[in-house]
Amino acid sequence: MALKSPPVLFGLLARISRRSFSSSKTLSSKQVTVRDALNQAIDEEMERDDKVFVLGEEVAQYDGAYKVTRGLWKKYGDRRVIDTPITEIGFAGIAVGAAFAGLKPICEFMTFNFSMQAIDHIINSAAKTFYMSAGGVPVSIVFRGPNGAAAGVAAQHSQCFGAWYSHCPGLKVIMPYSSEDAKGLLKAAIRDPDPVVFLEDEIMYGLQFPMSDEALSSDFVLPIGKAKIEREGSHITLVCAGRATETALQAANELAGKGIECEVINLRTIRPLDIDTIARSISKTHHLITVEQGWPQSGIGAEICARIMESPAFFELDAPVWRVTGADVPMPYARSLETLALPRPPDVVAAASAVLANQIASEAAN
């Protein structure tokens, strides 16, 4: 008779295993924070291409509000690392104009909540100009900064912009999870000829992930539009991006202790969406749950549901798709309510149990 590990031990071992291996071909060699991975990406691309420059509030002498641009001002000087006034509509416009002229700006928003002050430049100028110029004016620009809920900063500083920006043709939208995601995808975004919205997460900046020698090299770049299978499974597919990936992986560990093996797909890119990887997984598991921190109405999960409904993958499903999202309310300030307003591993576990039991109707009614 085979011995079974207690669920707590199983979860611990699974977590250790997940954090000990890299997505690249060689074994991991160094623990690197997401913050430092982003810093490496910007530094390497600025060294590689003198058209790349950084601008935003406190990015230079203060090393960035979250220290992502630490050391870059001292290395590259005032011309390439530029502190701006507190006017997002102003410096975003300068950045887009610089991209029109052939430079490659990295425009940092202290938080993407402030990007709403600059959304006309992002949507009407950056996203549409290549099309409106009949391909004559490429706009190579990266808008980056922390996105989504942080902690204790209430409704005006806690929203996820993944669905907002992925709605707009002309933009590419990236939402990294790990340090490898952050470095490889930011380098790809900087090199890309199109405008890219790069949605980071304040809570993830200080977390360490293993990075292989390959990922630490200056040649490491990840493809935009390609998802990563973080964990293989055969019973149910969990699709997520950014910090929601951590939520999904924690839930998958708990479900594994109950004999349910989840396949966890880290989208990495929201637009273009890697629907093929999702469809292949559904053909194996025949069940799907989406996990996101944003609101449910017209969200990322809703788009995935629609795309699956409109494709042959729909016929592979044995039960309706379930979305696990943030609550459909402005973010509360109270810590206890804030916790309840965001998706948690128990929410994903409950959803998986309902989907696999095909009890969605009764669960939704309760």
Q: Which residues contact 6 (CB under 8 A, 6 or more apart)?
A: 257
Amino acid of residue 46? M
Report which DSSP code applies to 310: T
**Residue 37 three-state SS:** helix
Selection from 306, 318, 301, 330 nearest residue 113 by Cα:
330
Q: Which residues contact 128 (CB under 8 A, 6 or more apart)?
A: 170
The encoded tokens of residue 298 equal: 């017209």
165, 231, 331 from 172: Cα distances, Å:
8, 25, 26
In whole angstroms, give the CA distance from residue 258 to residue 255: 5
Selection from 324, 302, 346, 355 nearest residue 244 by Cα:
324
Q: Is 167 a catalytic residue?
A: no
Parallel/antiparallel/unpaired status of strands 104-108 and 262-266 = unpaired
| Cβ contact 113:157 at 8 Å | yes
105 pairs with which residues across the strands? 53
**Marked catalytic residue, from 44, 57, 88, 338:** 88
Distance of CA 260 to the CA centre of its chain: 26
Q: Is 157 a catalytic residue?
A: yes
Instruction: Please count the other Cβ atoms lying within 10 Å of the Cβ belonging to residue 103.
Output: 17
105 burial type by CB count under 10 A (0-12 exposed, 13-18 middle, 19+ buried): buried
| Cβ contact 70:63 at 8 Å | yes
**Marked catalytic residue, from 121, 157, 235, 287:** 157
In whole angstroms, give the CA distance from residue 160 to residue 113: 8
DSSP percent split of the chain into helix, strand, coil, nearest 5 = 45, 15, 40
Selection from 299, 357, 353, 358 nearest residue 323 by Cα:
299
Catalytic site positions = 88, 157
